[in-house]
Amino acid sequence: MELLELMRTRRSIRKYDGRPVEEEKLARVLEAGRLAPSARNMQEWKFVVVRGSRLEALTKACNGQQMVQEAGAAIAVCATENHMMGCGQPSATVDCSIALSFMLLEAEELGLGMCWLGSFMAPAVKEALDLPEDWTVVAVSPLGYPAESPDARPRKPLGELVVTLTD
Ligand SMILES: Cc1cc2nc3c(=O)[nH]c(=O)nc-3n(C[C@H](O)[C@H](O)[C@H](O)COP(=O)(O)O)c2cc1C
Protein backbone atom coordinates (compact mmCIF):
# COMPACT_ATOMS: atom_id res chain seq x y z
CA MET A 1 0.00 0.00 0.00
CA GLU A 2 1.17 3.51 -0.69
CA LEU A 3 2.78 4.91 2.48
CA LEU A 4 0.51 7.87 3.07
CA GLU A 5 -2.54 5.66 2.50
CA LEU A 6 -1.16 3.18 5.03
CA MET A 7 -0.76 6.00 7.53
CA ARG A 8 -4.36 7.04 6.85
CA THR A 9 -5.78 3.58 7.43
CA ARG A 10 -3.66 2.51 10.43
CA ARG A 11 -5.53 2.36 13.72
CA SER A 12 -4.67 1.52 17.29
CA ILE A 13 -6.03 -1.99 17.76
CA ARG A 14 -7.35 -2.90 21.19
CA LYS A 15 -9.15 -6.16 20.36
CA TYR A 16 -7.38 -9.23 18.97
CA ASP A 17 -8.56 -12.64 17.79
CA GLY A 18 -5.67 -14.52 19.39
CA ARG A 19 -4.33 -16.08 16.17
CA PRO A 20 -0.56 -16.46 16.54
CA VAL A 21 1.63 -14.14 14.52
CA GLU A 22 3.78 -16.00 12.02
CA GLU A 23 7.55 -15.86 12.64
CA GLU A 24 8.15 -14.28 9.22
CA LYS A 25 5.72 -11.47 9.96
CA LEU A 26 7.18 -10.89 13.41
CA ALA A 27 10.62 -10.75 11.84
CA ARG A 28 9.45 -8.10 9.38
CA VAL A 29 7.96 -5.95 12.13
CA LEU A 30 11.23 -6.16 14.07
CA GLU A 31 13.21 -5.42 10.92
CA ALA A 32 11.22 -2.21 10.51
CA GLY A 33 12.34 -1.18 13.98
CA ARG A 34 15.93 -2.09 13.20
CA LEU A 35 15.91 0.19 10.17
CA ALA A 36 14.72 3.22 12.11
CA PRO A 37 17.00 6.22 12.42
CA SER A 38 18.52 7.02 15.80
CA ALA A 39 20.59 9.79 17.32
CA ARG A 40 24.22 9.43 16.17
CA ASN A 41 23.05 6.10 14.74
CA MET A 42 23.77 4.58 18.16
CA GLN A 43 20.80 2.15 18.03
CA GLU A 44 20.83 1.86 21.79
CA TRP A 45 17.62 -0.11 21.94
CA LYS A 46 16.25 -3.57 22.52
CA PHE A 47 13.01 -4.93 21.13
CA VAL A 48 11.76 -7.40 23.70
CA VAL A 49 9.31 -9.88 22.20
CA VAL A 50 6.97 -11.33 24.78
CA ARG A 51 4.86 -14.44 24.27
CA GLY A 52 3.47 -17.09 26.56
CA SER A 53 2.99 -16.95 30.29
CA ARG A 54 4.79 -13.64 30.87
CA LEU A 55 1.99 -11.84 29.04
CA GLU A 56 -0.20 -12.08 32.12
CA ALA A 57 2.27 -10.20 34.30
CA LEU A 58 2.92 -7.75 31.47
CA THR A 59 -0.82 -7.06 31.22
CA LYS A 60 -0.93 -6.28 34.94
CA ALA A 61 2.10 -4.01 34.56
CA CYS A 62 0.23 -2.23 31.76
CA ASN A 63 -2.49 -1.33 34.23
CA GLY A 64 -4.63 -4.30 33.26
CA GLN A 65 -4.97 -3.43 29.57
CA GLN A 66 -6.30 -6.82 28.43
CA MET A 67 -5.30 -6.34 24.82
CA VAL A 68 -1.73 -7.26 25.78
CA GLN A 69 -2.76 -10.79 26.73
CA GLU A 70 -5.42 -11.14 24.03
CA ALA A 71 -3.01 -10.32 21.21
CA GLY A 72 -0.84 -13.33 22.00
CA ALA A 73 2.35 -11.30 21.60
CA ALA A 74 3.75 -7.98 22.71
CA ILE A 75 6.83 -5.92 22.08
CA ALA A 76 8.45 -3.79 24.75
CA VAL A 77 10.76 -1.19 23.26
CA CYS A 78 13.58 -0.40 25.67
CA ALA A 79 16.55 1.93 25.65
CA THR A 80 19.85 0.56 26.89
CA GLU A 81 21.48 3.99 27.11
CA ASN A 82 20.24 7.51 27.37
CA HIS A 83 21.89 10.82 26.70
CA MET A 84 20.60 14.30 26.48
CA MET A 85 20.87 15.53 22.92
CA GLY A 86 22.04 19.02 22.11
CA CYS A 87 18.43 20.04 21.64
CA GLY A 88 17.66 19.08 25.24
CA GLN A 89 15.63 15.97 24.38
CA PRO A 90 16.47 12.49 25.73
CA SER A 91 17.75 10.19 22.99
CA ALA A 92 16.17 7.13 24.63
CA THR A 93 12.62 8.37 24.26
CA VAL A 94 13.09 9.83 20.82
CA ASP A 95 14.96 6.86 19.32
CA CYS A 96 12.68 4.18 20.72
CA SER A 97 9.61 6.13 19.67
CA ILE A 98 10.81 6.26 16.08
CA ALA A 99 11.55 2.52 16.13
CA LEU A 100 8.10 1.68 17.42
CA SER A 101 6.49 4.02 14.89
CA PHE A 102 8.23 2.13 12.09
CA MET A 103 7.03 -1.16 13.57
CA LEU A 104 3.44 0.09 13.80
CA LEU A 105 3.47 0.88 10.10
CA GLU A 106 5.00 -2.43 9.06
CA ALA A 107 2.45 -4.28 11.20
CA GLU A 108 -0.32 -2.42 9.41
CA GLU A 109 1.16 -3.35 6.05
CA LEU A 110 1.10 -7.03 7.10
CA GLY A 111 -2.50 -6.95 8.30
CA LEU A 112 -1.43 -7.07 11.95
CA GLY A 113 -2.53 -4.77 14.74
CA MET A 114 -0.60 -2.90 17.38
CA CYS A 115 -1.42 -0.25 19.95
CA TRP A 116 1.18 2.03 21.46
CA LEU A 117 0.90 1.80 25.24
CA GLY A 118 2.25 4.58 27.35
CA SER A 119 0.15 3.60 30.33
CA PHE A 120 2.32 1.10 32.17
CA MET A 121 4.30 0.88 35.38
CA ALA A 122 7.89 0.72 34.20
CA PRO A 123 9.28 -1.05 37.29
CA ALA A 124 6.55 -3.70 37.04
CA VAL A 125 7.26 -4.21 33.31
CA LYS A 126 10.94 -4.68 34.09
CA GLU A 127 10.12 -7.21 36.78
CA ALA A 128 7.64 -9.09 34.59
CA LEU A 129 10.17 -9.39 31.78
CA ASP A 130 13.32 -9.77 33.89
CA LEU A 131 14.92 -6.75 32.25
CA PRO A 132 18.21 -5.26 33.41
CA GLU A 133 17.86 -2.44 35.90
CA ASP A 134 19.58 0.12 33.66
CA TRP A 135 17.22 -0.33 30.70
CA THR A 136 14.46 2.21 30.17
CA VAL A 137 11.11 0.88 29.02
CA VAL A 138 9.89 3.51 26.58
CA ALA A 139 6.80 1.83 25.17
CA VAL A 140 4.90 -1.43 25.02
CA SER A 141 2.57 -2.67 22.32
CA PRO A 142 0.48 -5.76 21.77
CA LEU A 143 1.01 -7.45 18.42
CA GLY A 144 -1.58 -9.70 16.85
CA TYR A 145 -4.43 -10.09 14.43
CA PRO A 146 -7.12 -7.42 14.80
CA ALA A 147 -10.62 -8.37 15.90
CA GLU A 148 -11.97 -4.88 15.34
CA SER A 149 -11.91 -2.18 12.68
CA PRO A 150 -12.08 1.07 14.61
CA ASP A 151 -13.17 4.30 12.98
CA ALA A 152 -10.51 6.89 12.38
CA ARG A 153 -9.78 9.13 15.33
CA PRO A 154 -9.95 12.79 14.38
CA ARG A 155 -6.83 14.69 13.46
CA LYS A 156 -6.42 18.43 13.56
CA PRO A 157 -6.38 20.06 10.14
CA LEU A 158 -2.98 21.07 8.80
CA GLY A 159 -4.04 24.69 8.99
CA GLU A 160 -3.93 24.40 12.79
CA LEU A 161 -0.55 22.70 12.84
CA VAL A 162 1.64 24.28 10.24
CA VAL A 163 3.45 27.52 10.83
CA THR A 164 4.95 28.87 7.64
CA LEU A 165 7.65 31.46 7.91
CA THR A 166 8.51 33.49 4.85
CA ASP A 167 10.50 36.66 4.29
C1 LIG B 1 2.64 7.93 23.45
C2 LIG B 1 1.33 7.18 23.30
C3 LIG B 1 0.79 6.54 24.39
C4 LIG B 1 -0.41 5.82 24.26
N5 LIG B 1 -0.88 5.09 25.32
C6 LIG B 1 -2.00 4.33 25.16
C7 LIG B 1 -2.44 3.47 26.20
O8 LIG B 1 -1.80 3.33 27.24
N9 LIG B 1 -3.58 2.77 26.00
C10 LIG B 1 -4.28 2.86 24.84
O11 LIG B 1 -5.33 2.17 24.72
N12 LIG B 1 -3.88 3.62 23.82
C13 LIG B 1 -2.75 4.36 23.94
N14 LIG B 1 -2.27 5.12 22.90
C15 LIG B 1 -3.00 5.11 21.61
C16 LIG B 1 -3.69 6.45 21.35
O17 LIG B 1 -4.83 6.55 22.17
C18 LIG B 1 -4.08 6.50 19.85
O19 LIG B 1 -2.89 6.47 19.06
C20 LIG B 1 -4.86 7.77 19.51
O21 LIG B 1 -6.10 7.77 20.17
C22 LIG B 1 -5.12 7.88 18.01
O23 LIG B 1 -5.77 6.73 17.53
P24 LIG B 1 -5.17 5.89 16.32
O25 LIG B 1 -3.83 5.38 16.77
O26 LIG B 1 -6.14 4.76 16.08
O27 LIG B 1 -5.06 6.80 15.16
C28 LIG B 1 -1.09 5.81 23.01
C29 LIG B 1 -0.51 6.45 21.91
C30 LIG B 1 0.68 7.12 22.04
C31 LIG B 1 1.31 7.73 20.81
Q: Is residue 132 part of a domain?
A: yes
Q: What is the pLDDT of residue 1?
A: 76
Counting the structural domains of the chain, the total is 1
Q: Is residue 128 part of a domain?
A: yes
Domain presence at residue 166 = no
Domain containing 60 — which CATH number? 3.40.109.10
Across the 167 residues of the chain, what is the mean pLDDT of every consecutive 10-residue run?
Answer: 95 97 98 98 98 98 98 98 97 98 98 98 98 98 98 98 97
Nearest CA to ligand 1 atom 30: 116
Ligand 1: which residues within 6 Å by Cβ?
11-12, 14, 65, 115-119, 150, 153
Three-state SS across the chain? Answer: CCHHHHHHHCCECCCECCCCCCHHHHHHHHHHHHCCCCHHHCCCEEEEEECCCHHHHHHHHCCCCCHHHHHCCEEEEEECCCCECCCCCEHHHHHHHHHHHHHHHHHHHCCCEECCECCCCHHHHHHHHCCCCCCEEEEEEEEECECCCCCCCCCCCHHHHCCCCCC
pLDDT per residue as tens digits for the range 88-133 = 999 999 999 999 999 999 999 999 999 999 999 999 999 999 999 9
